[in-house]
Amino acid sequence: MNNDGITPEFQKGWDAALLAVRRWHEAQASKTTIQARRSRFPKNLEREAEVHRRSAELIATLSPDDV
């Protein structure tokens, strides 16, 4: 166990969860971008895709100490 109380098993689960969330946000961004290309009014969809892209980027910066 580390000094901060995080076990290797916890860290492995944490990393897996972050990877899953990041991939989900990336998939949502991709899906929303495609919808925006097909839409007559794409601005809202483009903003939504950007939120998902930023979320996917920021997920990597989280640590167990943040929660």
Domain that holds residue 47: 19-60
What is the number of domains present in the chain?
Answer: 1
Residue 56 has pLDDT above 90, yes or no: yes
Residues 6+ apart with CB under 8 A from 35: 45
- Quote the tokens at residue 42: 């794409």
Looking at the domain assignment, is residue 23 inside a domain?
yes
CA distance 47 to 32: 9
pLDDT at 30: 97
N-term to C-term CA, the chain: 19
pLDDT at 6: 85
Alpha helix (H) residue ranges in 1-67 = 8-38, 43-59
CA distance 17 to 33: 24
pLDDT in tens, 11-53: 999 999 999 999 999 999 999 999 999 999 999 999 999 999 9
Looking at the domain assignment, is residue 11 inside a domain?
no
